[in-house]
Amino acid sequence: MTATLYIVATPLGNLADLSSRAADCLRRVAVVAAEDTRRTRGLLAHLGARPQLLSFHAHSGPRRTEGLIEILRSGRDVALVTDAGTPGVSDPGPELVAAAREQGFPVVPVPGPSAVTTAISASGLPADRYLFLGFMPRKGAERARLLARAAAEEWSVVFFEAPGRLGALLEDLRALAGPERRAVVARELTKVHEEFRSGTLAELADYYSREEARGEVTLVLAGTGEAPPPPDRSDEARALATRLLGEGASRREAARQVAAELGMARNEAYRLVTEL
């Protein structure tokens, strides 16, 4: 039978959160690829599981991916796990999953804990739609771009952050989103010292300027609640309409194509065409 790559979610902290299906999978597979073998070894010992344990982390490189594909080719099942939560969500995994699919191996998720859904479900902030941005770059243009996107986002935004950088993230968001925007800091989820701290960005930034955040942190930022204004595409629409009219299209046909290609309302596109 064809070997299978299993994507196995593991507990954030509380071992009781491991599903019976995940436990059975880890006991049954021949190989477990783990972000941190020392941490996973403890979980496997707790389960009485004895698979071959290999490291697979963000710096493993293509040779390790190919090695795991070779294991699948040999007919042995592989389970991918991360330190905590669901592999591939701000954690190693996408390259291995893509390679396994490309080679025709089944990829089966074994769902379970995720810091993203755990934090936002208990945040009290809207979660029917949300934006997940993971870990912010430490500095530079990409950090500025993502923070500006988060500040303007209509929906709730979820971040991961290292405890030593939480204060800087809150200060940056306070400057961009305003001091009164609400947020929730979720810390040490499912562990003994689990904590949710809710407040405005000003309150949270002030608190964590005095108190050191410890453990793993997930931050949920409230959205604006308002849809962003549509981008102004009038110059692009005029250029397209001018080209279409020059090619012999009627005003009605030019307006139809402009509306379809640029996502404009039909009456707005027709108005723009007739003004040319």
Tell me the mean pLDDT in the region 159-178.
97
User: Please, which pLDDT band fits residue 237 given cuts at 50, 70 and 90?
Assistant: confident
Tell me the mean pLDDT in the region 239-264.
89
Residue 199 pLDDT greater than 90, yes or no: yes
Residue 33 pLDDT greater than 70, yes or no: yes
What confidence score (pLDDT) does residue 194 get? 97
Q: Is the pTM of this model over 0.85?
A: no
Residue 53 pLDDT greater than 90, yes or no: yes
Share of the chain above pLDDT 70, in %: 100
What confidence score (pLDDT) does residue 207 get? 97
Residue 231 pLDDT greater than 80, yes or no: no
Domain ranges of the chain: 5-113, 116-221, 234-274
Fold category of 5-113 in CATH: Cobalt-precorrin-4 Transmethylase; domain 1 (3.40.1010)
Q: Out of 126-130, 140-144, 242-246, which region has the weakest mean confidence (pLDDT)?
A: 242-246
Q: Which CATH code, of 3.30.950.10, 3.90.1580.10, 3.90.1150.10, 3.40.50.300, is assigned to 116-221?
A: 3.30.950.10
Residue 31 pLDDT greater than 80, yes or no: yes
What confidence score (pLDDT) does residue 1 get? 65
**pLDDT tens digits, one per residue of 104-123:** 999 999 999 999 999 999 99
Q: What mean pLDDT value characterizes the chain?
A: 94
DSSP string, the chain: ----EEEE-B-SS-GGGS-HHHHHHHHH-SEEEES-HHHHHHHHHHHT---EEEE--TT--HHHHHHHHHHHHTT--EEEE-SSB-TTSSSS-HHHHHHHHHTT--EEEE----HHHHHHHTT-S--SSEEEEEEPPSSSHHHHHHHHHHHH-SSEEEEEE-GGGHHHHHHHHHHHH-TT-EEEEEESTTSTT-EEEEEEHHHHHHHHHHS---S-EEEEE---SSPPPPP--HHHHHHHHHHHHHTT--HHHHHHHHHHHHT--HHHHHHHHHT-
What confidence score (pLDDT) does residue 27 get? 98
Tell me the mean pLDDT in the region 26-45.
96
Residue 235 pLDDT greater than 90, yes or no: no
Residue 270 pLDDT greater than 90, yes or no: no
